[in-house]
Amino acid sequence: MPLIRISLPAGKPAEHRHAIVHSVYDALRETFNVPEGDLFASIDECTPGNLLYDRHYFGIDRSDDFAIVQLTVSSTRGVDQKKALYRRIVERLAHAPGLRPQDVFIGVVEVARENWSFGNGEAQYV
């Protein structure tokens, strides 16, 4: 049920982009109990000047490898579960494709369960 959106600088190889998606997906499976096969993701490659961020906000030094991970999820998880997700995402991304934790911005958008349709014009969760 999560919808994964990744924004990163253009020009990264397919292996790099896919490693990001699968690392995020694996972290979701581990911390948010997402079932196998529930993978829906898009990758936005941003040309120079189209990925804007403060390189030092909150005292965090960001590099040119900065990536945004936006997750749309059902509003069923608490703060501790979200904190575990954030930690696990940066751990997995440090391993594959090798992103620094400082370069990973994560945003979670929560929606009610009736706001999902996985196809056929149906609301599968209600």
The rounded distance, in Å, linking the Cα atoms of 20 and 54 is 22
- pLDDT tier for residue 75 given thresholds of 50, 70 and 90: very high
- pLDDT tier for residue 35 given thresholds of 50, 70 and 90: very high
pLDDT of residue 34: 96
CATH classification for the domain delimited by 3-115, as one of 3.30.499.10, 3.40.50.450, 3.40.1350.10, 3.30.429.10: 3.30.429.10
pLDDT of residue 59: 98
Q: Where are the domains of the chain?
A: 3-115
Phi, psi of 111 (to 5 degrees): -135, 160
pLDDT digits (tens, 9 = 90+) for 86-118: 999 999 999 999 999 999 999 999 999 999 999
pLDDT of residue 1: 79
Report whether 24 contacts 93 (CB < 8 A): yes
Contacts of 47 (CB under 8 A, 6+ apart): 10
pLDDT of residue 86: 98
The rounded distance, in Å, linking the Cα atoms of 115 and 34 is 17
